[in-house]
Amino acid sequence: MTNKAAVEGHSLANIQPTYVFEAPVRIWHWLHALSIFVLCVTGYFIAYPLPSVGGEASNHFLMGTFRWLHFVAAYVFTIGFLVRIYWAFVGNRYARELFVLPIHKAEWWKDLIHEVKYYGFMTRKSHKILGHNPLAQSAMFFFNVILTLFLIVTGFALYAEGLGQGSWADKMFGWAIPLLGGSLNTKMWHLTAMWLMLVFVVIHIYMAIRADIMSRESSISTIIGGWRMYKDDLP
């Protein structure tokens, strides 16, 4: 009777819709997702270019365009992330969840274990949680804070190679290249980080859709409209 235990052990009872994701968070989410999509596609074709185009070189700018798009999306990705960090300070308490894992709270760990059980089909009962559930939150922290920062640092270090030594990007991020063992290795790690990001995206989108259908609170409509709604009045 895992279900009962889970119901009893859980104290968060709320049936009122709650405003969870403020507008800047939602706008950031979709800009972030869009820029990642563009960065993955263009990045992949930078690493593995398309079959050659014919004719005069001066008539084409295919790689140049991919690189240009990559850099535009990179700026959206980076500046968006900086604004999101700012919002963590001034926004509501859910705006901070992405950046701060409350690992000092016993309850958080309990919820985390519950969540692992839930997705492992060991319990049927899902929790009602206003912000992110702890499992999602941990994944979010690793993939969206750590990995995002890694992609930004390695990305701008590579970008600095084009801007040249002494450029602002070189001064800020150039140190990453010797640290990672040279330019080629930096590219390799940048590319590896892309694949890790894709692992997150696949699982994240699945979880979002699954939660929308199967769990007891709203999910996709929350990241679009901001309000968390509940489908039942159980605790």
Partner 1 sequence: MAHRETFYEVMRQHGITRRSFLKFCSLTAAGLGMGPEFAMKIAHALETKPRTPVIWLHGLECTCCTESFIRSGHPLASDVILSMISLDYDDTLMAAAGHQAEELLEQTIEKYDGNYILAVEGNPPLNEDGMYCIQGGQPFVEKLRHMADHCKAIIAWGSCASWGCVQAARPNPTRATPVHKVIRNKPIVKVPGCPPIAEVMTGVITYMIAFDALPELDRQGRPKMFYSQRLHDKCYRRPHFDAGQFVERFDDEGARKGYCLYKVGCKGPTTYNACSTLEWNDGLSWPVKSGHGCLGCAEDDFWDKGSFYSAVTNMKVMGSAEADADKVGKVLAGAAAIGVAAHAAASVVSHMSDKSRKEVRHD
Residues near partner 1 (CB under 8 A): 3, 47-54, 57-64, 119, 121, 124-126, 161-162, 164-165, 174-175, 177-178, 181-185, 187-189, 191-192, 194-196, 198-199, 202-203, 206, 210, 214-216, 231-232, 234
Residue 222 binding target from ligand HEM, partner 1, none, CB below 5 to 8 Å by type: ligand HEM
- Beta strands in the chain, from DSSP E residues, in sequence order: 18-19, 227-228
Per the structure block, which two tokens stand in for 144? 């969206």
* Rounded Cα distance, 166 and 71, in Å: 19
Show the binding pattern over residues 56-95: x = contacts ligand HEM (CB under 6 A), - = does not.
-----------x--xx--x--xx-----------------
Residue 89 binding target from partner 1, ligand HEM, none, CB below 5 to 8 Å by type: none
Residue 187 near ligand HEM by CB under 6 A: yes
Contacts of 25 (CB under 8 A, 6+ apart): 84, 87, 91, 94, 95, 226
Show the binding pattern over residues 141-180: x = contacts ligand HEM (CB under 6 A), - = does not.
---x------xx--xx-xx---------------------
* Rounded Cα distance, 73 and 193, in Å: 16
Closest to partner 1 by CB, 32 vs 216, is 216
Instruction: From 82, 86, 78, select the one nearest 154 (Cα to Cα).
Output: 78
> Residues 14, 217: contact at Cβ < 8 Å?
no
* Rounded Cα distance, 108 and 80, in Å: 28
- Least distance to ligand HEM, CB of residue 209, Å: 6
> Residues 173, 160: contact at Cβ < 8 Å?
yes
Among 135, 140, 196, 229, binds ligand HEM (CB under 6 A): 140
Closest to ligand HEM by CB, 158 vs 180, is 158
Per the structure block, which two tokens stand in for 21? 């994701």
Q: DSSP letter string over 175-224?
A: THHHHTTSHHHHHHHHHHHHHHHHHHHHHHHHHHHHHHHHSSB--HHHHH
- Beta strands in 18-132, from DSSP E residues, in sequence order: 18-19
* In the block, residue with structure tokens 């798009």: 69
Residue 70 binding target from ligand HEM, partner 1, none, CB below 5 to 8 Å by type: ligand HEM
Name the residues that contact ligand HEM, by CB under 6 A.
Answer: 25, 29, 32-33, 36-37, 39-40, 43-44, 46-47, 67, 70-71, 74, 77-78, 97-98, 132, 136, 140, 144, 151-152, 155-156, 158-159, 187, 190-191, 194, 197, 201, 204-205, 208-209, 219-220, 222-223
